[in-house]
């Protein structure tokens, strides 16, 4: 996992990019911000030219530095990732206001009951709806990785949220 994947995802699917970057943040935390451990366990596994490996290592070091400066060692997201949420939230609001975006509005309103339920269970009430959706999807992916049992109700909610985020990501790609 590295900057090459992140760059590709950012161009192709902003939603997948954001989830990927959240995973990178968690991996950096798991390796306790130790670039040598990240190098040994992640970077060294790549079959890339030496110059590319050097760039990947510098990318991780830069992310570690940003996480330290932004004081998100325990939890939270980098400002660069928060900016993606802000951009997607702005786009979301513009799409909802557009008379030409009936498919988007319909998909959003089908998703809204799940968003409301998730927000009612969250201690953080001021989180943007788009971030709530991404957090739900990220939590679901973590549960799958841990082989935790996932209810049919949760799977249905995630399916609808995924459809919504996929559409938002596609609209974003058309905008850039």
Tens digit of each residue's pLDDT (9 = 90 or more) over 24-68: 999 999 999 999 999 999 999 888 899 999 999 999 999 999 999
In this prediction the pTM is 0.92
Query: What pLDDT score was predicted for residue 106?
Result: 98
pLDDT at 83 > cutoff 70 = yes
The 10s digit of each residue's pLDDT in 120-161 is: 988 887 899 999 999 999 999 999 999 999 999 999 999 999
3 state DSSP class of 117: helix
pLDDT band at 8 (very low <50, low <70, confident <90, very high): confident
d(CA 84, CA 38): 25
Q: In this structure, which long-range contacts are made by residues 29-36, counting pairs with CB atoms below 8 Å and at least 24 apart in sequence? A: 29/67, 29/73, 29/74, 33/64, 33/67, 33/68, 33/73, 35/60, 35/61, 35/64
Mean pLDDT, residues 98-122? 95
User: Is the predicted pLDDT of residue 2 greater than 80, yes or no?
Assistant: no
Q: C-alpha angle with apex 38: 3 to 12, nearest 5 degrees?
A: 20
User: Residue with structure tokens 């319909």?
Assistant: 106
pLDDT beyond 80 at 21: yes
């Amino acid at each position: 996992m590295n900057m090459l994947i992140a760059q590709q995802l950012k161009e192709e699917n902003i939603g997948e990019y954001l989830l990927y970057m959240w995973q990178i943040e968690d991996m950096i935390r798991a390796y306790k911000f130790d670039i040598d451990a990240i190098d040994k366990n992640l970077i060294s596994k790549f079959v890339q030219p030496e110059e590319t490996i050097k760039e990947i290592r510098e990318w991780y070091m830069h992310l570690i530095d940003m996480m330290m400066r932004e004081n998100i060692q325990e939890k939270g997201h980098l400002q660069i990732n928060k900016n993606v949420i802000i951009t997607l939230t702005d786009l979301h609001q513009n799409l909802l206001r557009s008379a030409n975006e009936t498919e988007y509005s319909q998909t959003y309103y089908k998703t809204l009951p799940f968003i409301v339920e998730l927000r009612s269970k969250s201690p953080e009430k001021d989180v943007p709806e788009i971030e709530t959706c991404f957090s739900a999807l990220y939590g679901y992916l973590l549960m799958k990785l841990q082989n935790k049992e996932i209810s049919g109700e949760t799977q249905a909610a995630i399916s609808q949220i995924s459809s919504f985020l996929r559409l938002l990501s596609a609209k974003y790609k058309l905008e850039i």
